[in-house]
Structure 1
Amino acid sequence: MSDEKEMQVTENLANMEAEQIDEEVKSNPEAPEDHDDDDDDDNVEDPVKKEKAIGKKIVPGILYLGHIPPRLRPSHVRTMLGAYGEIGRIFLQPEDKIVKRKKKKAGSRARNFTEGWVEFRDKRVAKRVAASLHNTPVGLKKRSRFSDDLWCIKYLHKFFWCHLSERLAYEQTVRQQRLRTEISQAKRETNFYLANVEKSQKLDKLRKKKEKRGESMTEKTWDFTQRRTEDEIRQSRLRKQAMSKKSLQKAQEKARVIEEKAQSNVSLLAKIFNSSTERS
């Protein structure tokens, strides 16, 4: 009986140990196992996994649209170019205010754009789009209203969206400065005009007072010489040239007279000497 009891105790202990081992395995599912399959997967080259492992940044690329057809909106550009890749920001330059005013006077309220910039998330996609869509029709279908227009696309190398925002901010500041200068100039002109009006009114009052008293008012005259016009300058040059020609002619005539006198004197001397030799 003692032997049978000892055998039962040993069997119970073995069962308890086996149950503890099973519970530990269940509680630690990340236990080391055979990694033959993982080693085989690491040897396979996956470019996406490599980029994620290296940590490469996807650099955005910007396209420049030189021509935008009428009635083309940013939503149309996004739907047309979004089929080729992921698009970020879009900016289309609207027409000038002067053109808008002229159109309003003519009766049309259509808003058109002159040029635009489109940002792609990946610059490689932007390069492909610029190379493939340049000088191709905007509308693929014949019935579309943009079928007669062509894309004018150029990829901007080393150009980022911050450059565009800086350029737009610079143009806005320049426009504001120009408006300020124009406003200040207009104010100066109006102030000068009003000051002259006040002076003229004062002078009229003084003139009337002196006329009542019987005194004569001496008016100031402008002491300045007006600049000559181009016609007057040209005429004065022609006169000088004519005078110079006349002086040359007079000098030539004087030289001829002197030469003739010299020749006559030479002939007289020759006659005198010739007669003296004959007598001897």
Structure 2
Amino acid sequence: MAAVAERWPEREAVGGVKARGPVPGVLYLGHLPPRLRPKHVRNLLSVFGEVGRVFLHQDGKVARRKRRAGSRGKSFTEGWVEFQDKAVAKRVATSLHNTPIGTRKRSRFHDDLWNIKYLHRFKWTHLSERLAYEKLVSRQRMRVEVSQAKRETSFFLQNVEKSRGLEKLQEVKRRKGQEWQEKCWHFRQRATEAEIQASKAGGHAQGAGKARQLGRVADLQRKSQSNTTLLAKIFNPVAGQQ
């Protein structure tokens, strides 16, 4: 909440006793055109009587919107003006309501109208109390929003950690599955009875083949020895006779 207020000095006591005077009256300004400042309000309303304190309220949302749009000037949404005499305040509210703010045609506020209302039995202390209450409510709302943002952030971080843990668990399961598949692929199945019998038959056949081969070698050796003896008899008949 941004606000601008102007004050006027209180009456000094004469002889230790407060001087009695007219009762102040407060006016409420429901609409304020852009670029209207407290000094403008004071100058425009001082023509009708002595103006005391002036307070203009600036809405935070409107201010943020204007800052985003690139506007540097302040824009006030509503205001309160205190007249020293409530009778003057009543006359001002009655005479100026729904009338142009600027009296001259060249005035920047000529096309804007006053939206003034006299606040019965309203004192400036009520406004101070209201502003203090709104400030307290704004602080509490801000605390609630901050705490909610912290909870949302904590919840988000917890979910992120959980998702990371789940991803790691899935990765471990995937690796274990791959290892198990590799073991299954290298597994040698036990031979069946038919395969065992076939292997045995093949072994017997190999044994028989080896035996036949050895028999052939022995026959060849015998034939070679007989041939050697025959040659010896032919070429050495004497030795053969002896």
Query: Under a length normalisation based on structure 1, what TM-score does the superposition of the two structures give?
Result: 0.53
Which residue of 2 is the match for residue 129 of structure 1? Answer: 92
Which residue of 2 is the match for residue 195 of structure 1? Answer: 158
Quote the offset at 1:205 in angstroms. Answer: 2.9
AA partner of residue 86 (structure 1): E
How far apart are the structure 1 equivalents of 2:168 and 2:99?
Answer: 77
Q: How does 1:222-237 map to 2 (within 5 A)?
A: none
Alpha carbons of structure 1 residues 211 and 106: separation in structure 2 relative to 1, 3 Å: closer
Which residue of 2 is the match for residue 71 of structure 1? Answer: 35
Maintained 8 Å contact 2:30/2:77? yes
Secondary structure of 2:28's counterpart equals: strand
Which residue of 2 is the match for residue 116 of structure 1? Answer: 79
Which residue of 2 is the match for residue 58 of structure 1? Answer: 22
Of the structure 1 ranges 197-206 and 58-67, higher mean CA displacement relative to structure 2 is found in 197-206
In the alignment, structure 1 segments of 5+ residues that lack a partner are: 1-54, 216-280
Matched, 1:154 2:117: yes
AA partner of residue 75 (structure 1): K
How far apart are the structure 1 equivalents of 2:167 and 2:75?
Answer: 57
Query: Under a length normalisation based on structure 2, what TM-score does the superposition of the two structures give?
Result: 0.60
How far apart are the structure 1 equivalents of 2:157 and 2:33?
Answer: 50
Which residue of 2 is the match for residue 80 of structure 1? Answer: 44
Maintained 8 Å contact 2:52/2:82? yes
Quote the offset at 1:121 in angstroms. Answer: 1.0
| Highest RCO, 1 vs 2 (Cα 8 Å, sep ≥ 6) | 2
Which residue of 2 is the match for residue 235 of structure 1? Answer: none
Structure with the greater alpha carbon radius of gyration = 2
Quote the offset at 1:107 in angstroms. Answer: 3.0
Alpha carbons of structure 1 residues 156 and 208: separation in structure 2 relative to 1, 3 Å: same
How far apart are the structure 2 equivalents of 1:63 and 1:75?
Answer: 16
Give me the identity figure in percent.
64
How far apart are the structure 2 equivalents of 1:142 and 1:210?
Answer: 83
Secondary structure of 1:171's counterpart equals: helix
Which residue of 1 is the match for residue 132 of structure 2? Answer: 169
How far apart are the structure 1 equivalents of 2:176 and 2:99?
Answer: 89
In the alignment, structure 2 segments of 5+ residues that lack a partner are: 1-18, 179-242
Maintained 8 Å contact 2:63/2:75? no
Q: Residue deviations 1:198-219, cap 9 Å, x none? A: 223223333433444459xxxx
Indicate the RMSD between aligned Cα atoms, in angstroms: 2.2
AA partner of residue 184 (structure 1): S
Quote the offset at 1:115 in angstroms. Answer: 0.8
How far apart are the structure 2 equivalents of 1:137 and 1:207?
Answer: 74
Q: Residue deviations 1:4-43, cap 9 Å, x none? A: xxxxxxxxxxxxxxxxxxxxxxxxxxxxxxxxxxxxxxxx
